[in-house]
Structure 1
Amino acid sequence: MTPSKINLMSTYVLLVLIWATTPLAIIWSVTDLHSLWALALRFFIALPLSIVLLLIVRAKFPINAQSLHSYLAGACSFIGSQFFTYLAATYLSSGIIALMFGLAPIITGLIGYFVFHIHLRRMQWLGMLIAVTGLGIICLGGSEHQVKPLGIGLMLLSVFIYCASIFWVKKIGAPLEPMAQATGSIMVSSLFAACMLPFIWSYAPTEMPGLRSLIGLSYSVVMASLVAMFCYFKLVQNIQPATLSLTTVLTPILALVVGAILNDEKITMMVLLGAAVLLSGLFAYFYQDFKASRALAHKMKTD
């Protein structure tokens, strides 16, 4: 049964809100916890919840070689990418983290061009150039507290691994249900997190974290790791890719506002200018897709 337009719109809005607030949840979760302990706890808590959901929806969970390979590839977008995001959380504001993840489609396009020889249009190259210019403005104009080059570098690594993981999963092509793929990837991520513990054991929490850290950790587990996943795959199956890609432009804008209101993050005029330029680059990158999507929607209405 195809979901109604109101249902899909509600799902879309919920996904944008979750993705816009997840960077702030990460920032809050590391307030009283070592960044890598916060990351490990996120997967340790998400694992049993994902298994319960897997049982509730009665999704098949294959353990053949192809499926295990796909779980490993998916884990790269989970713990592989998030490892660097959590390290960057001590150097960047939540809005800048969201803005960096907005570069994911551009980095995906570059990987596709150089590795898989996927054609890129001139407008897409122009969009990339504009976006990189915006990123440069942010690096030069950010305050010392908000934008540090090391944090930018860590986030670029995070986004690159996230994008590479998508290609890896697609190349494997395992016929897995989204819930099975996610659960398997969380399992592998939890295993890597367990292997990480001996190296961060000296930073283990010795007392209950504060309320802000607990809220951030809980939100990142329930909303970012589980609810957002359901919303995303539901939209993938029911709306145009270009429409879904628009979240890349909407999310950073909301994240900047949310960070300023809830976390008192100061935004300089140069950062705002850089963000505007970067988002303009993203819009230029997707312009042809948006145009094609609108033309298709108009054609479907008239038919």
Structure 2
Amino acid sequence: MTLSRAKAGWILAFLVLMWGINWPLTKYALNYTPPLLFAGMRLLIAGLVLGIYAFPRYKTLQIRKTWYIYAISAVLNIIFFYGFQTLGLTEVPAGLFSSIVFLQPVLLGIGAWLWLGETMYAMKIIGLVLGFTGVATISIGGMTGKVSPEGVMLGLFSAISWTAGTIYMKKTSAKVDGIWMTAIPILIGGVILTLTGTATESWNAIQWVLPFVLDMLFISVFVIALGWLAFFKLVSSGEASKVGSFTFLIPLIALLCSVLFLGESITVNLIVGLIMIIASILLVNLKSKGSKVVKL
């Protein structure tokens, strides 16, 4: 499947916006709910929405032939990714943890070169490193509070699982239906995280007020269901490393939303990081004629 440049641009813009505003929306929701139960509920709702939408295409599911693909994707992209994040954020300040997780585009660029046959050249290497540096620069303001080695490792595991899941998604995209590939792993992850939350947290701790319910429904439908569907379409139709480079914008969007809606302030780090991230995306996506291609 190949997307036109215009369509890919709109899908990318939607993805970055949704995944960016997810951070402040989730931060707000956690005032009303324990973390694991919230993670499980929003995944379950998202998976059910996608499942209902995909049901008329049930013949394309081919669960007997492709069950292992859905299972592996669920473990890497949902259970490990969200699970490591939930646990890690209790051990590491959010700013530092975000910068660790967004090492993912750099790892993805390397992985796509090694296992997907994508080209690697000097401008792309510099761009990926510059993008990560930009994210770290933006996030450095959050580096206060306790920092444990375990939390840092959980952040790294989250980035690695997302990288491996994206590469696996790209390699298997031709074997599965895109909507089912999004719905089934999210459903599996939702069930497991909800059961884990039920065993370790209390349902009575959830405050079922209208703002929380609306917040959770928005995240479930737009951020998770439509967001992961958009991510699958982009990764399966283009170079994974180039798609990954745009995810550097997600922490920036999150911080801008926090400035606008949560009263946080604009800092020099934010401005410098923004410049680095924009330069990074340009370097990764605009290959010059003189760029040296690195081959295996």
* CA distance, structure 2, for counterparts of residue 153 and residue 240 of structure 1: 28
From the superposition, tell whether residues 55 and 139 of structure 1 become closer, same or farther in structure 2 (CA, over 3 Å): closer
Whether the 8 Å contact between 1:42 and 1:220 is mirrored in structure 2 is: yes
1:64-213 aligned at under 5 Å gives the runs: 64=64, 66-75=65-74, 76-88=76-88, 92=93, 102-111=102-111, 120-131=120-131, 133-134=133-134, 137=137, 141-142=141-142, 144=144, 149=147, 154-170=154-170, 175-197=175-197, 199-201=199-201, 203-213=202-212
CA contact (8 A) 2:108 2:240 kept: no
One-letter code aligned to 2:277? L
SS of equivalent residue, structure 1 residue 291: coil
CA distance in 2, matches of 1:100, 1:260: 22
CA 1:132–1:48 in 2, change beyond 3 Å: closer, same or farther? closer
Distance, in Å, in 2 between the alignment partners of 1:46 and 1:14 is 17
| Structure 1 residues 255 and 143: CA distance shift in structure 2, 3 A | same
Take 1:122 and 1:6, find their aligned partners in 2: how far apart are those partners?
27
Whole-angstrom distance in 2 between the partners of 1:171 and 1:20: 26
User: What is the CA–CA distance in structure 1 between the aligned matches of 2:234 and 2:277, rounded to whole Å?
Assistant: 22
Deviates more, 1:42-51 or 1:166-175: 166-175
What does residue 294 of structure 2 align with? Answer: none
Deviations 1:192-213 (CA, angstroms, capped at 9, x unpaired): 2244145414x33345334443
- 1:1-303 aligned at under 5 Å gives the runs 9-56=9-56, 60-64=60-64, 66-75=65-74, 76-88=76-88, 92=93, 102-111=102-111, 120-131=120-131, 133-134=133-134, 137=137, 141-142=141-142, 144=144, 149=147, 154-170=154-170, 175-197=175-197, 199-201=199-201, 203-235=202-234, 244-245=243-244, 247-270=246-269, 272-273=271-272, 275-276=273-274, 279=277, 282-283=280-281, 287=283, 289-291=285-287
Contact residue 27 and residue 89 of structure 1 kept, 8 A: no
**Per-residue deviation, 1:136:** 5.5
- The CA deviation string for residues 231-269 of structure 1, in whole angstroms up to 9 with x for no partner, is 344455767767745632443332221121112234543
Q: 1:52: how far off?
A: 0.8
**Separation in 2, partners of 1:17, 1:53:** 23
Percent identical: 19
Letter in 1 for 2:19: W
Does the Cα contact within 8 Å between 1:59 and 1:180 map onto a contact in 2? no
Q: Is the 8 A contact 2:51 2:180 kept in 1?
A: no
Letter of the 1:82 partner, please give it.
Y
Cα shift at 1:181: 1.0
Distance in 2 (alpha carbons) for counterparts of 1:230 and 1:118: 22
Residues 101 and 230 (structure 1 numbering): CA distance in 2 closer, same or farther, change over 3 Å?
same
Which amino acid in 1 is paired with 2:48?
P
Amino acid at match of 1:104: Q
Contact 2:78 2:185 in 1 (8 A): yes
Provide closer, same or farther for how the CA distance between residues 79 and 71 of structure 1 changes in structure 2, counting only shifts above 3 A: same
Structure 1 residue runs of 5 or longer lacking an equivalent are: 294-303
Is the contact made by 1:29 and 1:215 (CA closer than 8 Å) also made in structure 2? no
What is the aligned length?
285
Q: For residue 296 of structure 1, what is the aligned residue in structure 2? A: none
Cα separation, partners in 2 of 1:3 and 1:154, compared to 1, 3 Å: closer
Residue-by-residue CA offset, 1:7-26 (whole Å, 9 max, x unaligned): 65544432332122122222
Could you tell me how far 1:185 is from its partner in structure 2? 0.8
Secondary structure, counterpart of 1:31 in structure 2: coil
> 1:53 is aligned with what amino acid?
Y
Consecutive unaligned residues of structure 2, counting only runs of 5 or more, are 290-296
Instruction: Report if aligned partners of 2:128, 2:280 keep a CA contact under 8 Å in 1.
Output: yes
